[in-house]
Amino acid sequence: MGVIHKIGRRKCAVARVYVSEGTGKITVNKREFTNYFPTATLQYKVMQPMSMTENASNFDVKVNVYGGGSTGQAEAVRMAIARAMCEVEAENRAILKPEGLLTRDPRMVERKKFGQKKARKRFQFSKR
């Protein structure tokens, strides 16, 4: 099969995933993924495409991820793994697409505007 390289993005996080045949080991930035993503919800998000396609113990996944926070990084990894699973087998697309794992989430942080405290919050108004 060789190595499959895919990219996933979420907010400011970018994940590059390298999928190869193996025993189901996932490493994120040269660390075990359970150490990199300590909470159960983040670990579930990362494993979701593998478990839905029943490939959790068939492939080794090596991930380089940077930018954003822990949730954004986990969702970027999830998207990249889902894209790789589609390339492994075309029938996986029908499983992952209805769950929304192949859709890029366009929501980003709104920029701060000048003359305001944050993007939408204004400075306190004083009438007198």
| Cα(61)–Cα(84) distance, integer angstroms | 10
The sheet that has 59-66: what strands, in order across it? 4-10, 13-21, 59-66, 26-28, 31-32
**What residue type is assigned to position 42 of the chain?**
L
What's the whole-model pTM score? 0.90
Is-contact 7 80, C-beta < 8 A? yes
Among 82, 86, 88, residue whose Cα is nearest residue 104:
82
Residue 21, domain CATH? 3.30.230.10
Domain span at residue 41 reads 2-95
DSSP assignment, residue 39? S
Does residue 112 fall inside a structural domain? Answer: no
Does residue 122 fall inside a structural domain? Answer: no
Does residue 69 fall inside a structural domain? Answer: yes
> Is the pLDDT reported for residue 39 higher than 80?
yes
How much of the chain exceeds pLDDT 70, in percent?
Answer: 100
> 40-82, pLDDT tens digit by residue?
999 999 999 999 888 888 899 999 999 999 999 999 999 999 9
